[in-house]
Amino acid sequence: MLTARALRCRYGAFEAVRGIDLTVHEGELFALLGTNGAGKTTTLETFEGHRAADDGTVEVLGLDPRAHHRELAARTGVVFQQSGLPAELTPREVLRLWSRLTPDARRHLDVDEALARVGLGHRVAVRIRQLSGGERRRLDLAVALLNDPELVFLDEPTTGMDPEARMRTWGIIRELLADGVTVVLTTHYLEEAEALADRLAIMHEGRLATAGTLAEVVAAQPGTIQAELPPDAPQLPPFPERRHDGSSARLELRTTQLQRDLTRLLRWAEDHDVELSGLQAADASLAQVFHELSAGEVLAEGDLTDPEARP
């Protein structure tokens, strides 16, 4: 459906994308996460045919996005991070224009229906200048969906939306997926990726720090076991990744072997008749993974041999 191989993009001497390999399968939602300036928008723009790759290759629907821009424009939809619609036009005028600008689309949605679908049914004839930030974002989505695309690129589509509008947008995205549309999404809302993504990648400084399903991405990071130890607790068995602040009786373990270490802990507690209160065991959250991977530069300067030094 969509692939990048060793993709590199430079702005002058600055390399914004530094060798990315990724594949997006038909009908899935792929979320691209990462800190500001990680290179998400740049990557998307090479897929959209808007920017030439300086190195490596990209393929969209089996085609080179630069050479086959015209065909792909009819078959894909794009929400830019920054909208780019003339402020003095109305939503209805913009959509009417857009259907004339995508003559080879397999189908066009009805203009007013498309606006109603994104919740702009009551604002069809207002100047874009007068729309709120969230309303403009909805209009961007309506433009992207107007030509009934097979593949959509959504660059932070819900930024600036109120919770209700965001839920509605998630609903629309789920409908797209149900219709077999492939979605590539960037977002700074991790819960959005958790809710929608079949697979995701986290970008950091132009590279993919990790990629896979949510479960795979999360499994690669250590989970946490926490418990309160009674004051008279006997000596704990050795845990390689134990974090223990001497004063309190609080146990905190970070482990990539969550099940094994939890079993060991529980067995030890049973053997020594220890009552563990406040026991918690959890995989890493996406937020933890994101934080770990985006702190890469900080880590590199710190002491890598001491995991306790991590923030």
Partner 1 sequence: MSTTIAFLHTELTLLRRDTTAWATAIALPFVLGAWWITTDPPFADGMGAIVALQVATLLIFSLHTVGTMALASRREQLVLKRWRTSQASPLSVLMGTIGVPAGLVVLQAAVLTALTMAASDTAPASVTMLAVGALSGVAVVGALTFVAAAFTRSAEHAMITTFPVIIVVMAGTAWSLMRPFDAFDWPVLAVPGGAMTQLLQLGWEGPTDGSGAAAWLSQAAPGLVATVVLTALGTIAARHWFRWEPRP
Residue 151 has a CB neighbour count (10 Å cut-off) of 22
Q: How far apart are CA 220 and CA 260, in angstroms?
A: 15
> Using CB under 8 A, which of 29, 73, 141, 253 touches partner 1?
73
Alpha helices in the chain (DSSP H): 40-47, 69-75, 91-101, 111-117, 133-146, 163-178, 190-196, 214-219, 258-271, 286-294, 296-301
107 binds, among Mg ion, ligand ATP, partner 1, none (CB under 5 to 8 A by kind): none
In terms of CB distance, is 40 or 123 closer to Mg ion?
40
In terms of CB distance, is 41 or 90 closer to Mg ion?
41
Binding track, positions 80-119, relative to Mg ion; x by CB under 5 A: -x--------------------------------------
Q: How far apart are CA 184 and CA 23, in angstroms?
A: 11
State yes or no: residue 138 binds ligand ATP (CB under 6 A).
Answer: no
124 binds, among partner 1, Mg ion, ligand ATP, none (CB under 5 to 8 A by kind): none
State yes or no: residue 42 binds ligand ATP (CB under 6 A).
Answer: yes
Q: CB of 19: closest distance to ligand ATP in angstroms?
A: 14
State yes or no: residue 121 binds partner 1 (CB under 8 A).
Answer: no
State yes or no: residue 171 binds partner 1 (CB under 8 A).
Answer: no
Q: Is the dihedral of CA 71, 64, 153, 55 positive or negative?
A: negative
State yes or no: residue 36 binds ligand ATP (CB under 6 A).
Answer: yes
37 binds, among ligand ATP, Mg ion, partner 1, none (CB under 5 to 8 A by kind): ligand ATP
Binding track, positions 3-42, relative to partner 1; x by CB under 8 A: --------x-------------------------------
Cβ neighbours of residue 74 closer than 8 Å, sequence gap 6 or more = 102, 103, 104, 105, 106, 147
Query: In the sheet where 2-11 sits, what is the strand order?
Result: 14-24, 2-11, 55-60
State yes or no: residue 109 binds partner 1 (CB under 8 A).
Answer: no
DSSP letter string, 162-220: -HHHHHHHHHHHHHHHHTT-EEEEE-S-HHHHHHH-SEEEEEETTEEEEEE-HHHHHHT
State yes or no: residue 23 binds Mg ion (CB under 5 A).
Answer: no
Q: CB of 126: closest distance to ligand ATP in angstroms?
A: 28
Closest by alpha carbon to 171, among 156, 192, 201? Answer: 192
In terms of CB distance, is 48 or 261 closer to ligand ATP?
48
In terms of CB distance, is 80 or 239 closer to Mg ion?
80
Q: Cβ(219)–Cβ(283) under 8 Å?
A: yes
Give bridge partners of residue 24 from the DSSP assignment.
2
Q: Which residues 61-120 are close enough to bind ligand ATP by CB under 6 A? A: 81
Could you list the residues that contact Mg ion (CB under 5 A)?
40-41, 81
